[in-house]
Structure 1
Amino acid sequence: MPKREDFGDVELRILVIGSSGPSQFLLTNFILGREEFSEEVCSIASSQKNVGEIVGRRVAVVNGPNLYDKGMSKSKMRKELKKSMCLSTPGPHAILITFDLEKICPNDMKTPKLVKDKFGENVLNYTMILLVYDGHLRGRALNDKVMRTDWHLRELVEQCNCRYHVFSKNWRNRSGSRELLHKIERMLQTMGGHHYVNRSYKRAEESVRNEERKLRKKRRSETERTCRELEEQFQGDELCWQMDTVNARVGAEIRAEAELQNSWLRTSLAVGLGLGFVAGAAMGMIVCSVEGPAGMVVGGAVGGVMGGASGAAAQLAIEHLDDRVGTHSANFNTVFVNRFYRAPPV
């Protein structure tokens, strides 16, 4: 039985997902209390991570791609979703799906199911609907709009066990930040105090840790040299403080690099493509062997291309099948350095 996490000591990992528009980026600004994204940003080219505080609680916010981004290919979408998983390892404490309350459309009703398809069978147990709103309704009237008046909103929220929170488009107004934190903590308590994890998250975390070990080995001589220099300059408590600072900085740099560059992120789709190409080429050559050597060559090439696509699809299907099984896991939490998670402006 995994050990229960202590909410107060662990950095809260939040995965923010948007269906379209700027809502998820306004939410990130609201949580962090700073303008990480300008109001004009409606999508990002690459998943990214930022760290900060909400009501004094350390928090890491991972922004994935907008799920209905028409400008992003399917392969790019898969890559970015996997990257968002690596950035939120060993698993998120909360998945927040954001919408503009005044712009909910029928297609948005499918979003929770889409999130479940992408992140695993049990992910909705850790999911909450976040609604950005800038209207005149408040209190009970606003609650009635969500849960009684507008059936489509009620249906959307009910898919996440009626968990929702409304925040202002004026994200600098953080009056509801404490309430949001309490809702997340209550949601976690119902799940026994464990962050979300499935087989894909386990693979991602294992790959990230393996990459960390490699990077630590590469930087060992550099770290030892730095420590020797500190020993020549400081003594006693000051030396301990300096050593801890260096170790934390190096650890954060290594973790940041490992989350963005690891074998699970690099090779999973390549494996599917490679296996599919080999199988497809072989089948194409067999089918076209009746045409002679030239037919075998052409058939092998065509079969390889088609098999590569099928292999990628099969690899994706395997990952989704793995995600049907969800387990709990407790793991260490790492101190992150914010600058290593910022993507270039888009």
Structure 2
Amino acid sequence: MSESPTELRIVLLGKNGSEKSVVGNFILEMGAFDPIYEQSRCVRVVGQVERRSIAVINTPDLLDPHISLDKLSEELHWCVTLSDPGPHVFLLVLQPEEFTQQEGDRIRKILNTLSERSFDYSMVLTTHEDKREHMAEDHPLNQMVRACRGRQHLMHLRDHTQLIADVDKIVKENGGDYLTCDVFEDATSDMVQGKEEIHRSKTDGSLKSSSEEELGKAVLEQGASVQWYNFDTFTEVGLTFLKGKVEEQSWSGEKCVSPLRIVLLGRSDDKKKTVGNMILQQGAFPGIGLCWFVWQKTAM
């Protein structure tokens, strides 16, 4: 018997950003995603649901026919990174009255690009009434349900337990394993190799490290710097400082692509929320009442 994963990772794909946000909030049982905000980047939110860690990776509209290949590749790459070591389930948030053959072809291309086994880990989710019985057999949504091994969930029933049960069933059918996305294996290899090859000689007063742990020790040995900012100047000055810190971690003239991790500590949840939103440059943090985190790619 397969064991349940310690962290369940779910990727949301679809055209309607508002509906994906509603689905993500429904899964996590909290207001993690803003349904009004038009999401332009992949965002990962982790929450504790019934003593279980669930990570939801919400994607922007990757079905947009006008999205550039560079943007699509970038977001798929980041989706893979945020779902590392791999997603357990893809939820395709689709509506029968809106879903077209072109969008169906695009979803197939996206999922097949990630892995030839992606559909083994996928399920169609609709938030409206089931209208499939009134649709032709060759309707794009019916085709997509068949591609997902006949899996479909109707979320308009508002049954959280049933949705999680359907997700767990997919995990069980795949032996409890996550999907290994192999499309960016070479790029990931280069990233890991680059991280391990961060060497800056002591003679020029720079860091010398072969791992993140040694890098941290080297920073402490050289003396940590403390920067003070108030809310009025943080957006302009603070983000400039953070950008500089990222660019300092470069090698071979290329910008470091590993995630920048920042911990916010303090008594005031509202102030920490404000600072977090300033750093991410969007309203990513809702009201803070639980210990949870948002992980997203953001350009500085």
TM-score, length-scaled by structure 2: 0.62
Decide whether the 8 Å contact of 2:46 with 2:56 is kept in 1. yes
AA aligned opposite 2:211: K
Which residue is 1:193 aligned to? Answer: 176
Deviation at 1:127, TM superposition (A): 0.8
Query: Match of 1:97, SS?
Result: strand
Equivalent of 1:129, from 124, 127, 131? 124
Identity of aligned residues (%): 23
Task: Check 1:166–1:261 CA distance in 2 against 1; reply closer, same or farther (3 A cut).
Answer: farther
Query: Match of 1:200, SS?
Result: coil
Deviation at 1:96, TM superposition (A): 1.2
Q: Partners in 1 of 2:183 and 2:2 — Cα distance?
A: 20
Residues 26-50 of structure 1 show CA distances to partners (whole Å, capped at 9, x for unaligned) of: 21121122223333234x2221211
Q: Partners in 2 of 1:130 and 1:163 — Cα distance?
A: 9
AA aligned opposite 2:166: K
Equivalent of 2:165, from 182, 188, 212? 182
Which residue is 1:215 aligned to? Answer: 212
The structure number with the bigger radius of gyration is 1
Q: Partners in 2 of 1:23 and 1:49 — Cα distance?
A: 16
Residues 295-330 of structure 1 show CA distances to partners (whole Å, capped at 9, x for unaligned) of: xxxxxxxxxxxxxxxxxxxxxxxxxxxxxxxxxxxx
Residues 56-90 of structure 1 show CA distances to partners (whole Å, capped at 9, x for unaligned) of: 42111112231223563221121111011111111
Which residue is 2:147 aligned to? Answer: 159
Deviation at 1:217, TM superposition (A): 1.9
Q: Partners in 2 of 1:39 and 1:209 — Cα distance?
A: 35
Task: Check 1:24–1:207 CA distance in 2 against 1; reply closer, same or farther (3 A cut).
Answer: farther
Residues 82-122 of structure 1 show CA distances to partners (whole Å, capped at 9, x for unaligned) of: 01111111110111111134423333332441233331211
Q: Structure 1 residue 61 and structure 2 residue 59: aligned?
A: no
Query: Match of 1:100, SS?
Result: coil
Equivalent of 2:134, from 139, 149, 162? 149
Residues 192-211 of structure 1 show CA distances to partners (whole Å, capped at 9, x for unaligned) of: 22110143365566566664
Q: Structure 1 residue 100 and structure 2 residue 95: aligned?
A: yes
Decide whether the 8 Å contact of 1:207 with 1:262 is kept in 2. no
Which residue is 1:31 aligned to? Answer: 27
Q: Partners in 1 of 2:293 and 2:127 — Cα distance?
A: 25
Q: Partners in 2 of 1:78 and 1:53 — Cα distance?
A: 31
Deviation at 1:180, TM superposition (A): 1.5
Decide whether the 8 Å contact of 2:88 with 2:179 is kept in 1. yes
Task: Check 1:71–1:199 CA distance in 2 against 1; reply closer, same or farther (3 A cut).
Answer: closer
Q: Which runs of 5+ in 1 are unaligned?
A: 225-256, 264-335
More helix as a share of residues: 1
Decide whether the 8 Å contact of 1:15 with 1:61 is kept in 2. yes
Q: Which runs of 5+ in 2 are unaligned?
A: 197-209, 222-248, 250-254, 259-290
Would you say how many aligned residue pairs link Structure 1 and Structure 2? 219
Which residue is 1:45 aligned to? Answer: 40
User: Which portions of structure 1, spanning 4 or more consecutive aligned residues, are displaced by more than 6 angstroms?
Assistant: none
Decide whether the 8 Å contact of 1:54 with 1:181 is kept in 2. no
Equivalent of 1:12, from 8, 12, 17? 8
Which residue is 1:338 aligned to? Answer: 293
Task: Check 1:156–1:182 CA distance in 2 against 1; reply closer, same or farther (3 A cut).
Answer: same
Decide whether the 8 Å contact of 1:55 with 1:178 is kept in 2. no
AA aligned opposite 1:155: Q
Q: Partners in 1 of 2:121 and 2:178 — Cα distance?
A: 8
Q: Partners in 2 of 1:261 and 1:69 — Cα distance?
A: 29
Query: Match of 1:6, SS?
Result: coil
TM-score, length-scaled by structure 1: 0.54
Which residue is 1:91 aligned to? Answer: 86
Query: Alignment RMSD, CA only?
Result: 3.4
Query: Match of 2:183, SS?
Result: helix
Decide whether the 8 Å contact of 1:112 with 1:159 is kept in 2. no
Decide whether the 8 Å contact of 2:10 with 2:91 is kept in 1. yes
Q: Partners in 2 of 1:343 and 1:198 — Cα distance?
A: 19
Which residue is 2:274 aligned to? Answer: none
Which residue is 2:280 aligned to? Answer: none
Q: Partners in 2 of 1:31 and 1:343 — Cα distance?
A: 22
